[in-house]
Amino acid sequence: MIDTEKIFNLHQQHHKSYKIIEDERKSLTDKGFDFDSIINYLFKLEDSEKTFSDFKIPSLNIKILTQNILLLQKCFSKLKPILVLTDSYKNIYDSLYEFIHSRDYLDESIEIKTKDTILTTLLKESDYYQLFPITTLAELEVPKDIINLRDHCDELEKLFKTVKTQYFSQASTSIKQSCKKFLELYESIKHDQTKLNHIVCQKKHQKNDIFLDPTSLISETLTAIENNIMQLKTFLHDLETPIEQTNSLTIIHVDYRSIRMKFESFESALKKQLTPIPTPTPTPTAIPIVNTIPAIPGRVKVAPIIPNKAMMMNKFIISDILAKMPKMP
């Protein structure tokens, strides 16, 4: 006699065990994993030739039904750590993908390889990834197998860390080299009177004032150079701490741009040729013309004549009139 109640209860257990595994299908598929391949691999670990699809319809045989429920439960027990590892792998890959494709808008003077170039080089040089082989970021998205999923996670995390380390290290090295050149120029200006005078002359030229006190300009220039040297030395000291995050590189880059702009103003002044400052032309002053004609008794004296435009134009007419006046006996 068939124990319908027992079968019903076993069917309920079977359905629950089946569904809890089936519910993970979307999660694994969305991460790019082959759900059926993973589950069927887990069944093989239990020495079963069955596939997951074989469990869709429960058996009516109590013994087989009981065995299937136990197999499904064992399968899910092995699936749980795999789900954790797939989540971990996906998170690492997403972070790597975001890092590779993010742009830092670094100054053009910073010589550095692209992140993608660094990644490709590391993949080609990696003994681990050449076993598959994997040479691009896209090929890293889904592990080639789940047997060594933990190893895949560890290797991917190690790869990501190395890419960041090399990228940040190259940026730091390039910035340091530039800053050392800045220091060399400042020191050469500081100890070379010819260069210092050239800078001072440039400042006078920019202000278009030949009467500026060169002594105060020299003092002002030397003070600016000393301040820039101090800022550079502090900046280089801070760069000795390895850069580990993009935010840190962004802050360093902002400071570097400020330092470079100050340097470029001095560099430009040294390279620029001086042109003479035009000497201002004095405005001519009108000279009064005094009338030298002797005074005639009984007549009004002629006041000194200050030439204006109208009188200058009639100069000869006035002279002719005065000449015709009667002379004194």
Distances (CA, A) of 177 to 57, 183, 197, 237, 265: 70, 10, 27, 13, 19
Q: What is the pLDDT along the chain (329 residues), one digit of tens a residue?
A: 567 888 888 889 989 999 999 999 988 998 888 999 899 989 888 888 888 888 888 878 888 889 989 999 999 999 999 999 999 999 999 999 999 999 888 888 888 899 999 999 999 999 999 999 999 999 999 988 888 899 999 999 999 999 999 999 999 999 999 999 999 999 999 898 888 888 888 777 666 555 666 788 888 889 999 999 999 999 999 999 999 999 999 999 999 999 999 999 888 888 876 555 454 555 555 555 555 555 555 554 444 555 554 455 455 455 555 555 555 44
Domain boundaries, the chain: 4-101, 168-271
Name the pTM for this structure. Answer: 0.73
